[in-house]
Amino acid sequence: MKQRLAFFDNAKFILMILVVFTHLLEPFIEDWQGYHNLYYFIFIFHMPAFILIAGYFSKGLQKGNLNKVIKKTLLPYLIFQLIYSSYYALIGLEDSFSWNLLLPNWSLWFLVSLFCWQCSLTLFKKMSPLIAITVSILLALLVGYLPFIDRNLAMQRTFVFLPFFLIGHYFSWEKLVAIRQSHRYSFALVGFGSIFAFISQFETFNKYLVFGSKPYADFLSDPQLGAFIRLLVLVLGFVGILSFLLIIPRQKTFYSDLGRNTLTVYLLQGFVVKGLRALNIAEFNLGFIGFISLLIFSVALTFVLASPKWQEFYTNFQEKFRKKIRQQL
């Protein structure tokens, strides 16, 4: 049990480093094909892996826990949607303040989708795991043909990443352990190599294939092929997740405890990332030294924001904000 929990904490922390790193790298991906390929290689699996782990620990809506689910998802969404809207206007990323609850700011879509995924378990638990996952995949493929399901309330993404959440919910720790006992590094190498090779063949790889935020007609020249392309990306995403989980250490490490605070990092890292973008860092020539510095900075920022001090700050801030809302009501 302890090994299992340490394993998932280790995975979440490393994934969080990758999230921060890709967000910092994004302004430079058009400068060199290598940055482009690395960015999309990581994007293929890092958020799907987070979603799978979220599904693994999710119990859905049970008697008496609706308030708890709302507290962990919708309430932080409302708070940070307001804060980021104000921040974007303050640093000049937006011309004026606009608090649009229907269109999640940047990475906040995950909170809305997580709430929806939790609710969906009420329905999917009535099905067998195989049928539930099959239905979710069909929904992920078909929703791309529906133009009215888009970025509003992150509904397109909610459907697109739903299969990873359900696979995580039915995830078997024992089967993963069995796979890890033989040739795990070989499988991971082949898996990661296949993904990187696929991306390298498509110099114009479209970001919305991995973001999953828009209908096919919005970003594909031939929308009819959308379902086939999305299915391929979903398969590659799962291969990437499995390859990643095979190389994560099972034992407790010096960063295991920090892996419990990744949501705090996820919500706060945007202030740094967006602040740097407001300074037009894309105008700088990154180069090798800059690339290494960016990677080191990503690791350092993740360590700092996942520290107990920042976790305490986030918890206290959210509690104070919640009390103010109660007073207003």
CA 83, CA 85: separation in Å to the nearest integer?
A: 5
pLDDT-based confidence at residue 162 (cuts at 50, 70, 90): very high
SS3 call for 213: coil
Maximum Cα interatomic distance, the chain, rounded to a whole number of Å: 59
C-alpha pair distances (Å), 36 with each of 190, 192, 194: 21, 16, 16
**pLDDT reported for residue 86:** 94
CA 60, CA 119: separation in Å to the nearest integer?
A: 6
**pLDDT reported for residue 326:** 67
Residue 25 pLDDT exceeds 90:
yes
Q: In the chain, where are the structural domains located?
A: 1-327
- CB neighbours of 2 closer than 8 A, spacing ≥ 6? 252
**Which residue, chain included where needed, has tokens 């010096």?**
254
pLDDT-based confidence at residue 320 (cuts at 50, 70, 90): confident
The stretches of 73-172 forming alpha helices (DSSP H) are 74-91, 109-124, 129-142, 155-160, 162-169
Residue 314 pLDDT exceeds 90:
no
Read off the pLDDT of residues 37-80 as tens digits, 9 standing for 90 and up. 999 999 999 999 999 999 999 987 877 788 889 989 999 999 99
Q: How far apart are the first and last CA of the chain?
A: 43
Neighbours of 78 (CB within 10 A): 17
- Within 13 Å and on the Cβ side, how many CA atoms surround 96? 1
Q: Dig out the tokens for 157 from the structure.
A: 């993404």
DSSP 104: -
DSSP 253: -
For residues 20 and 98, the model is more confident at 20
Report CA torsion sign: 27, 31, 33, 38: negative
| Percentage of the chain lying above the pLDDT 70 cut | 96
Q: Dig out the tokens for 280 from the structure.
A: 């037009």
Q: Interhelix angle for 262-278 vs 287-305, to 10°?
A: 140
Q: Whose CA is closest to 160, among 185, 130, 137, 133?
A: 137
**pLDDT reported for residue 329:** 55
Q: Dig out the tokens for 25 from the structure.
A: 């790298």
CA 43, CA 25: separation in Å to the nearest integer?
A: 12
Q: Whose CA is closest to 45, among 192, 166, 177?
A: 192
Answer whether 0.75 is exceeded by the pTM: yes
Residue 1 pLDDT exceeds 70:
no
> Out of 128-132, 234-238, 280-284, 322-326, which region has the weakest mean confidence (pLDDT)?
322-326
Mean pLDDT of the chain: 92
CA 182, CA 250: separation in Å to the nearest integer?
A: 15
Q: Interhelix angle for 162-169 vs 129-142, to 10°?
A: 170
CA 77, CA 74: separation in Å to the nearest integer?
A: 5
DSSP 172: -
pLDDT-based confidence at residue 291 (cuts at 50, 70, 90): very high
**pLDDT reported for residue 309:** 92
CA 95, CA 257: separation in Å to the nearest integer?
A: 40
Read off the pLDDT of residues 81-127 as tens digits, 9 standing for 90 and up. 999 999 999 999 888 888 889 999 989 999 999 999 999 999 999 99
Read off the pLDDT of residues 182-231 as tens digits, 9 standing for 90 and up. 878 999 999 999 999 999 887 667 888 899 999 999 999 999 999 999 99
**pLDDT reported for residue 107:** 92
SS3 call for 247: coil
| Conformation bin of residue 301: beta by default, left when phi > 0, alpha when psi is -120 to 50 | alpha
